[in-house]
Amino acid sequence: MDHRIGIAAFNSRIAVVSTCERTLTALERFLLPSLPRIALDMPGTAIELRILRKGDGFQLICGGRIEPARDFPALVSAAVRLLDEEIVRRLTSLTAVHAGAVELRGKALLLPGKSHAGKSALVAELLRRGAVYFSDEYALIDDRGRAHPYPRPLLLRNGGPEQVPVLPEECHARVGNLPVAVGWILALEYDPAASWRIAAIPQSEALLLLLQNTPHELREAPRIFPALGRAASGSGCYAGRRNGAPEAADQILRLVAG
Amino acid sequence: MKIQRISSADIAVEKLPDGSTAIFDAATKTVYSLNATAAAAWEACGDSATLAQIIASMQQSFNPAVTDEIAWEAVSQLQDKGLVSIATPYSGPTRRSALATAGALLAPLVLALTAAEQKAHAAIAISGIP
C-alpha cells in the first residue's frame, strides 16, 4: 500500500510516495519542512517522487530519473536534489539563482556559485553567527527583485564527498518566511591558500553573474533580465577570493556592518 | 566623425543606481554590462554625436577628469560589442595608449554574455556540476 506526503512548493504540488511509512515519516522533516503540507485527494499533482526499498538501500524515481541511495542520509540528499530540479524547472514567476542566501540586517545576502563552490559551508557558518536561513542552493528572485526563501535542508560535505543533510535549527538558525530586498551580492571563489580579498564590482556586472548562475534560459524567459536587474540595483556587489568558511563568515559580517 | 548608438526596438536598458548600465538585446539575446564610464559614454552618444561632444558630455554629467583617451576607449569598446557604430575612421589615440592613460578608476569596461554562453551556464546551473 502506498503512503503519501503532499507539499505545496511555490507553484508546484509535490507527492512523495512510498510503501514504507516509516521511511516516509523520517524523510518528511527534511523535505522543505517550512512549506505547507497539502491533501493529495485532488488530481493534477505536478511532481511525484517515488521511493522504493532496494535491498538495504533505496531507489528514487522522479521526473523520469532513477537514482539509488545506499542509506538514509543518501536518500535525503538524493530526494532533496531531485525535488530541487523539478521545482526549479516549473517556476513561472520566480527566477532561481544558484546561490547561497541568508538574511542579515533585514536584507538578503546572495552568494552565487556552482556546486562544489563551498556555498553550503559558508551559509552554515553565517547561520551560526545569527543569519536567517534562506537557502544553501537557490535564491528565488521575484519580479520586484526580492529574494524568497527556498527552505531545503543544508547539504554539507564536512570534508568528504558525501553530502550530509543538516536542518537550519541544528545551526541555531531560524528560517526566513517572507521575501526581502537583496542587499549584497558576493561572488566568492574558494581558494584554501588565499586570504580574503574582494573588490567592488558594478551592479551591471553582478547582473551578469546572476545570469551565469540561473538555470533558466534567457532566450526562453526574458522576464529574468529585469527581475535580476532589480535584485542587483539595491545591492552592494563584490567579487573575489575567500579561504575557510569561518574566516569568510567573519569578513562578510564586517562588510555587512559597513 | 559621427558615433551612433545602435537603434533597435529590441533593446532593453537597465540603468543601475551605481551608474552602471545593463543592456539586453532581445534580437540576439545578448546581455551587456557597461561600467559607469562606459555607461556615461553610451548615454553621451545619444542618437548621434561627435567624439568631442561625447567627451564634453561625459565630463559634464559623469566626471570632469574624463580625457579624450578614456572617452575613445569607451567608444571603442562599445563599437567592439556592436553597441555603437562609427561613421568614419578616427585618427585618434591608439587603444594601447588609451588604456595606458585611462586611470584605473575611470577605465571603461564593457562585458557581454551571449545567448549561447548563458545557455551553457544555465545547463550547468540546473545540473549543479561545472
Complex ipTM value:
0.88
Average model confidence (pLDDT) for chain A? 93
For the purposes of burial, counting CB atoms within 10 Å of the CB of A114, is it exposed (0-12), middle (13-18) or buried (19 or more)?
middle
Give the Cα separation of A25 and B19 in Å (integer): 53
- Residue B124, chain A, CB below 8 Å: the answer is yes
- pLDDT classification of B115: cutoffs 50, 70, 90: confident
Helix axes of A203-211 and A224-233: crossing angle, nearest 10 degrees: 140
- Delimit the domains of chain B by residue range: 3-127
pTM, full prediction = 0.92
Predicted pLDDT at B94: 61
- Residue A240, chain B, CB below 8 Å: the answer is no
Bridge partners of A145, per DSSP, are none
- Residue B130, chain A, CB below 8 Å: the answer is yes
Give the Cα separation of A149 and A135 in Å (integer): 6
- Residue A242, chain B, CB below 8 Å: the answer is no
Average model confidence (pLDDT) for chain B? 85
For residue B97, the 8-state DSSP code is: H
CA distance B91 to chain A (A): 31
Predicted pLDDT at B20: 98
Q: Which of B10, B11, B18 has the most A C-beta neighbours within 10 Å, making it the best mutation to test the interface with A?
A: B18
Predicted pLDDT at A88: 92
Residues B1, A215 contacting (CB under 8 angstroms): no
Q: Which helix (H) or strand (E) holds A4?
A: strand A3-9
Predicted pLDDT at A135: 96
- Report chain B residues whose CB lies below 8 A from the CB of A187: none
Question: What is the count of residue pairs from A and B with beta carbons less than 8 Å apart?
Answer: 106
Residues constituting chain B: 130
Q: Give Cβ neighbours of residue A124 (< 8 Å, ≥ 6 apart).
A: A136, A154, A156, A166, A171, A245
- Delimit the domains of chain A by residue range: 3-90, 95-257
- Quote the cell numbers at residue A227: 527581475
Q: Name the residue among B16, B122, B128 with its Cβ closest to that of A115.
A: B128
Predicted pLDDT at A16: 95
Tens-digit pLDDT string for chain A (258 aa): 889 999 999 888 999 999 899 999 999 999 999 999 998 876 655 899 999 998 889 999 998 999 999 999 999 999 999 999 999 989 989 999 999 999 999 999 999 987 777 899 999 999 999 999 999 999 999 999 999 999 999 999 877 778 889 999 999 999 999 999 999 999 999 988 889 999 999 999 999 999 999 999 988 888 999 999 999 999 999 999 999 999 999 999 999 998
Tell which residue, B98, B93, B128, B116, has the closest CA to residue B38.
B98
Tell which residue, A20, A56, A50, A16, has the closest CA to residue A35.
A16
- pLDDT classification of B130: cutoffs 50, 70, 90: very low
Predicted confidence (pLDDT) per residue in B81-111, tens digit: 999 988 766 666 665 555 555 556 789 999 9
Give the Cα separation of B82 and B76 in Å (integer): 10
Predicted pLDDT at B6: 81
More confident: A184 or B115? A184
Tell which residue, A43, A41, A31, has the closest CA to residue A7.
A31
Dihedral angle of Cα B118, B119, B124, B125, to the nearest 10 degrees: 70
Which residues numbered 94-123 in B keep a CB inside 8 Å of some CB on A?
109, 111, 113, 115, 117-119, 121-122
- Report chain B residues whose CB lies below 8 A from the CB of A212: 113, 117-118, 121, 125
CA distance B37 to chain A (A): 11
Give the Cα separation of B72 and B66 in Å (integer): 10
Residues constituting chain A: 258
- Residue B11, chain A, CB below 8 Å: the answer is no
Predicted pLDDT at B129: 46
Predicted pLDDT at B97: 57
- Residue A66, chain B, CB below 8 Å: the answer is no
**What count of Cα atoms within 13 Å lies in the side-chain half-sphere of residue A201?**
23
Residues A149, A184 contacting (CB under 8 angstroms): no
Predicted pLDDT at A160: 75
Predicted pLDDT at A94: 96
For A95-257, CATH gives 3.40.50
